[in-house]
Amino acid sequence: MEQKIAEIKERIEKEVAATKTSKILFELKVKYILGKTGEIPALMKELGKAPKEDRPKLGKVINELKEWATEAFANKESEISALERQARYEAEKIDITMPAKRGGEGSLHPVSVVKGQLIDIFAGMGFKVSETREIEDDFYNFTALNTPKEHPARDKQDTFYINDDLMLRTHTSPGQIHTLKTVEPPFKVLIPGRVYRADDDATHSPMFHQMEGLVIDKHITMCDLQGMLDVLVKKMFSEGAKTRFRPSFFPFTEPSVEVDVSCFECGGKGCKLCKGTGWIEILGGGIVNRKVIENCGLDPDKYTGFAFGLGLDRIAMLKYGINNIHILYEGDLRALKQFKE
């Protein structure tokens, strides 16, 4: 038996030395020391068959072999794992001096482009930008804006109600109320943002974007509005662009106007874009209704102002020749990539 032990030791020594991977090493471990079937545990079993007087000595030798083998495997294990780790590092090595692959260049969304241009133009005239909340209550979205209970804008078909009092804002005009209630006049403010209406066809999306403008000071007239909008259309559309005011109605402005810009496609002669009229409607506005100023706790005899609201999506569509508003919101990069600033 002693001879057998010596022979096993020799084999382990040789085989372990020749091993190069942790997988084979583990197989050897199974073969020699693990479980009940390994050769060393099997020796322990055989011990019972040896002559009684030899057993203590043999047992000691087997235990020594086991200890020696356990250590030999452990040493080899750490040697191999160090090598394997090194090999993995080599394989994963990257050359950080190689030139980087350029990612595709992104571009701003057409609505963001238009919003940015408008903000730039109005900032040049002293406007500040303010964003107000998208979930409004009845007071801000309607009542304070002098929109009586029976007004069609309150129709449940247009407005997304959350409960009896709360709704998704149907326009950015509630931003006028927030500003009037918190900012000391005189001021010029722009309020861009998302608005929501239950309306969905080629030119309407249930979510779209508006930009509100509000100027409050003393002695503001419609001429101030027209002067400012003239600057706007020249910068936004073309040097030769003109504006035209048509009478209209909004509960929160009095008088109210709808503003057209001379067609930037045909210059006013009449074409497909302007439907032969030479004019394109771009916004609604007017002189802030006295009641609105009063509703916000200010004196309408002291302060006057103008307000306007324009649709950013509509302007983006006009500028880029997009005929379906949903192209803006389907997230198809092949479409959106074409509308670079």
Which residues contact ligand PHE by CB under 6 A? 171, 173, 212, 250, 253, 284-286, 307-309
CB of 307 to ligand PHE, least distance (A): 4
**Beta carbon of residue 308, minimum distance to ligand PHE (angstroms, whole number):** 5
CB of 199 to ligand PHE, least distance (A): 12
Give CA–CA dist 104/282, Å, rounded. Answer: 34
**Complete DSSP assignment for 63-77:** HHHHHHHHHHHHHHH
Structure-block tokens of residue 316: 């983006």
Indicate the residue among 92 and 201 with the shorter CB distance to ligand PHE: 201
How many CB atoms lie under 10 A from the CB of residue 136? 25
Give whichever of 212 and 313 is closer to ligand PHE, judged by the CB atom: 212
Q: How far is the CB of 239 from ligand PHE (least distance, A)?
A: 27
DSSP class per residue in 147-171: --TT-GGG-TTT--BSSSSEEE-SS
Q: Which is nearer to ligand PHE, 70 or 226 (CB)?
A: 226
Looking at beta carbons, which residue is closest to ligand PHE? 309
| CA separation for the pair 314, 319 (Å, rounded) | 9
What is the three-class DSSP state of 86?
Answer: helix
CB of 246 to ligand PHE, least distance (A): 13
- Tell me the closest approach of the beta carbon of residue 324 to ligand PHE, in angstroms: 21
Tell me whether residue 125 or residue 335 sits nearer to ligand PHE (CB atom): 125
User: Between residues 9 and 209, which has the closer beta carbon with respect to ligand PHE?
Assistant: 209
Smaller CB distance to ligand PHE: residue 130 or 253? Answer: 253
Residue 179 is which amino acid? T
b/e burial code for range 299-325 (CB count within 10 A of at least 16 → b): ebeebbbbbbbbbbbbbbbbbeebeeb
DSSP assignment of 115-149: HHHHHHHHHTTT-EE----SEEEHHHHTGGGT--T
